[in-house]
A and B are shown apart, each in its own frame.
Chain A
Amino acid sequence: MKKQEILIAWATLFICLALFFQTYNKFHFFAVENSQLFLNSRDFIISGISSVGGGASLLSGWIVQFFVLPYAGAILTALLLTLTGLVIFRLLNRMTRPGYLSFVLSIIPVLFSGYLHFNANYFYQGTVSFLLVLLLLVATIRIERKNLRAVFGTVLPVALYLFAGPYAILYAGIFAIIEYFRKELKPYIYILPLVATLLVAFLSVKAGWVGEYRFAFLPDMYYHALLKPGILLYFPGALVIISIVLAGMLSTTEGKKRKKQQTIGWIFACVTVICLAYYGTAQENDRKNYRIKTFAHYARTGQWEKITAACKGIELRNYVEICYLNMALANEGKLAENLFDYDQHGAQGLVVSWNKSPDISSLLSAVYMTCGHIALAQEMAFEANIASTGNGSPEMYKRLIATNRIFKNDKVAEKYARLLKQTTFHADDADRLQRTTGGCLPDTLMLSLSNGMQDDLEIIATACPEYRKNALEYCGALYLLSHDLENFKHFLEKYAGTEMLPALPRSFQEAVLILSEKEPGIVNRYPLAEETVNRFKAFRQTVLANRNNSSRLPALLKSSFGNTYWYYFMFN
């Protein structure tokens, strides 16, 4: 390959990767940023660097903090991956003549590495460590004086192990392979770095620095500690080793044998590309979560209209998506008005069950905040922070500042604000939140949810005018979505027509009309829109006309009445 070709090839790869990530993964990068906190403080850096792999973790944290900016996640990740490919290319070229095969072999580990960035449980630290290790390896093998190279090759991986974690073993392994083909050092010298690094890894476990052998010896350190990573995590490192061995073999042969080995190289490249395609489709699970990541970003940034727009006319896949939708509706002030304009599947679409994950905890924190349940908003923010993998979440720290201010726990709010003020991008928000006043708490010695969510919401709505609308609409909607019309009727008797609920939103009116089937007089007690009443008559007529045609009835009603509580009541 000519120099110009090489330049164009890598530049093209960088652009393609950046475009690919920006198109398909930009909200993932926002989510990654929101799950970690990087502090510009000496103590944070000292405490971070003092653990095995902590240096690379800090470095990745420093990079990830920029992901809060639009395009930064895609561009920086593409840049890191392109650099990684370039470094592998240089490694291969040290062993054999530069060619298209070297280029292809260099980009395959990069592409596998790229797929890892679709996985929420993969740590960015892995990509940074991978690049760092390969970069230092290239620097080492460029040293011409063999004794000096041997010294560097032995000392560096040990230091790298402490700084970047188990990818340092990859350094030592590849160093040994390269030196084996180079035949300048004695075997016991080029094996020494590998032995030394493995020994350090072993001792790390014995000393209690690393919890398990798999974290000490495998890239598992770069994955969520409580989960078993898939095989994809091991591919980038393994592929580099195989490519180096192939390049080494090519460097020692000429003529027909070399051609044969080149063919093997191409076959290997083709097989790995097929694997790549296979794993690409295997990422479908993560793709399914992408809409949630998208909604989470919109919710964080208050772009509620984008959530409701995205949900219009589509089937929502799970309660988490519906929860985001309903929270967006509430924040737009039209939860009870437009509730059934969207796909609804039960009360969990308002308050999803807590599964102790950081994502659900932070969603629930936002939901509780929306309906004015400050205590649970705070609890969930705390739980989300604890469960997050990287020192807590900026968004949750902001929620903790806000809720502690409402609880008048100013010293705790100040503690969290002080923390955020050490970040590059969240300091202003911390300052603003710290100065924010207002908020309201009911005056009661009662445990949350002891009599159910609806009871809490009624207490909040009664005590706190600022949360009243959302609290009552969530409360009423919870009754409707769980088909609890008996309690909905009590709810109406208590609040409808009072200053707390002066007018009934559309879904509540629709529920009154269902109640009127058993209790006709109820329609006179509440002001109902004429249009709603007429529509209910039409709905009733359609049902009666098709009572013997139960299989066609749902489809028949859906087109005209799919956005009503009556339809939901009958078919959900």
Chain B
Amino acid sequence: MRNTIYTLMFTLFLVMSQSCTENITVKQTLNTKPALFPDYDETVIPCNIAPLNFKILSDDKEVAATFACNGYTFQVRGNGRQIRISPSDWKKLLEKAKGDAVNVTVARKKAGIWEAYLPIKIQVAEETIDPYLVYRLIEPGYELWSEMGIYQRNLTNFDETPVIENHLTGKNCMNCHAFCAQDPNKMVLHMRATYPCTILIDGDKMEKLNTQTEQTISPLVYPSWHPSGNYIAFSVNETQQAFHISDKNRVEVFDKLSDVVVYDAGRHEIVTSPLLFSKTAYETFPTFSPDGKTLYFCSAEAKEMPKEFSKAKYNLCSISFDPATRTFGQQVDTLYNASGGKSVSFPRVSPDGRFLLYTLSGYGNFSIWHKDADLYMADLQTKKSFRLGNACSDDVESYHSWSSNSHWIVFSSRRIDGLYTRPYIAFIDPKSGEASKPFLLPQEDPDYYERSLKSFNIPELVKGEIDKPAYQIAITAKKEPGVNITFHK
């Protein structure tokens, strides 16, 4: 009996090894390109990205793919309809393909004959992307939440580790993680509901901040670090949400009040200007320029909410900031005037200071729920602004961030199914600011996104791994009394 089993196992091994090493000889070429998920055709990818595993959207039972560039070739036999690439082969391929294109030829076996689809092309940029992407995973819920966490994904492979998960902190809400110049050792994040606070990590130092003051309408909300690391601009918002009776946008999130303040990390104080703290206007989404001398923000005339929710249109504004004296300029410049047009949200300046990426949608500031939300780029040299046509889709494109070398952006989009936000990465032409066709963050299992019931929120690129243990963050939030910040008058 035992011998029979061994014989069977050996035969199976031989058959398997035979099938794994069989060369695919294409006898026929088809006139179409294969339909793939994710669609990587004509995309531009960084030379340090994880393997772009994909699946073939056809009924073909047996498939394979040949990857070729500059004389380096390898084949991958399909696992069902999935093509999963060996990390070592992929790494060698990217090394050879820097600045060039990889040809991917997908073939199917039909009636014993291999037929090849037309090859797809993937351009490999010489520029690398920051190795880590930090995001929050949460159900795209409305008022309630269950399990959520902030995670970091190593973009050079498929490793994803939690920065902090809410089962460590009484299932509370955690959000708005932000980094100083893509530095993983300088970050803030908020916790809400149970253990409400802001956690500030600066190297080995970890601080719990209690950020509600008598003078501000809420605890600190949307953050943006000053490049010096000494300040963080925040909005304070009184936010509400409501469901549309029948609109395709499902939910409307709107501010009833909002202002912008700057937190001085050394003195635990917040400072502001009447130009950022007006009762007749909503100011929100602050972001510092890379030189730290300008603060960009969105501003709209206050409306009667929620009645006039569709009339709130946000301008893109800026004000000068002097970090030495913590003072603001006396004048607000308007870079995009929303009157009669669209509404701006999430301005983000490229680290080299050349471009400003923002979202435009029909109205309001919470463009994450607006299907017409698209990405726009402002060239800060020429002052011209244009839609990133290659990056946009018919569905929501919203939150975005830059890589530290200004060559890559990552943004969230609901284009796959209209509900769950997924991170897309696009190359930015350093001269024109135009985006390449974006690619979906690759996953080891190409079915991951189909299965996942969590949205990717606030994708932020960082230059390395966050090494603070989740337990330490949780303990700081739970046990520390925290520093009460004050409002500097």
Contacts and interface: CB of A to CB of B under 8 A. Distances in A.
Interface stretch (A334-342, A379-387, A553-561): A379-387
Contacts of B244: 375, 445-448
B469 A444 contact: no
B386 interface: no
A30 B176 CA distance: 39
Nearest to B473: A208
Interface residues of B, number: 42
A453 B433 CA distance: 48
Contact of B144 (A375, A386, A407, A449): A386
A182 interface: no
B418 A445 contact: no
B243 A448 contact: yes
A447 B139 contact: no
A375 B246 contact: yes
Nearest to A460: B245
Interface stretch (A171-179, A288-296, A411-419): A411-419
A207 interface: yes
A375 B419 contact: no
Contacts of A386: 139, 141, 144-146
A409 interface: yes
B451 interface: yes
A225 interface: yes
A70 interface: no
Contact of B417 (A205, A210, A412, A445): A412
Interface in A361-378: 361, 373-376
Contacts of B450: 415, 418
Interface residues of A, number: 45
Contacts, number: 109
A447 B471 contact: no
A208 B470 contact: yes
B162 A412 contact: no
Interface in A157-178: none
A386 B148 CA distance: 11
Nearest to B470: A208
Given A383-B143, A412-B419, A447-B309, A208 B471 contact: yes
A205 B242 CA distance: 38
B246 A208 contact: no
A510 interface: no
Given A206-B471, A208-B168, A386-B141, A444 B245 contact: yes
B306 A447 contact: yes
Interface in A201-223: 205-208, 210-212
A226 interface: yes
B58 to A, nearest CB: 18
Nearest to B145: A386
Contacts of B447: 43
Given A211-B169, A225-B167, A447 B143 contact: no
B464 to A, nearest CB: 20
A343 interface: no
Contact of A448 (B145, B245, B417): B245
A411 B142 CA distance: 19
A395 interface: no
B143 A43 contact: no
Contacts of A447: 242-245, 252, 306, 309
B416 interface: yes
A495 to B, nearest CB: 19
A356 B418 contact: no
A442 interface: yes
Contacts of A442: 245-246
B243 A375 contact: yes
B353 interface: no
A456 B242 CA distance: 13
Given A206-B471, A409-B419, A448-B243, A382 B141 contact: yes
A379 B142 contact: yes
Nearest to B309: A447
Contacts of B102: none
Contacts of A449: 242-243
Given A206-B469, A208-B162, A225-B167, 6 more contacts: A208-B469, A211-B474, A226-B170, A409-B419, A411-B418, A448-B245
Q: Which 10 A-B pairs give the minimum distances between C-beta atoms?
A: A208-B470, A411-B417, A441-B246, A447-B242, A211-B167, A448-B243, A386-B144, A386-B141, A211-B168, A412-B419
Interface of A: 43, 205-208, 210-212, 225-226, 356, 361, 373-376, 379, 382-383, 385-388, 392, 407, 409, 411-412, 414-415, 418-419, 441-450, 456, 459-460
26 contacts: A207-B471, A208-B165, A211-B167, A211-B168, A211-B474, A225-B170, A226-B170, A226-B171, A356-B143, A356-B144, A361-B144, A375-B246, A376-B243, A382-B142, A386-B139, A386-B144, A387-B146, A409-B417, A411-B416, A411-B418, A412-B418, A445-B247, A447-B244, A448-B244, A450-B242, A450-B307
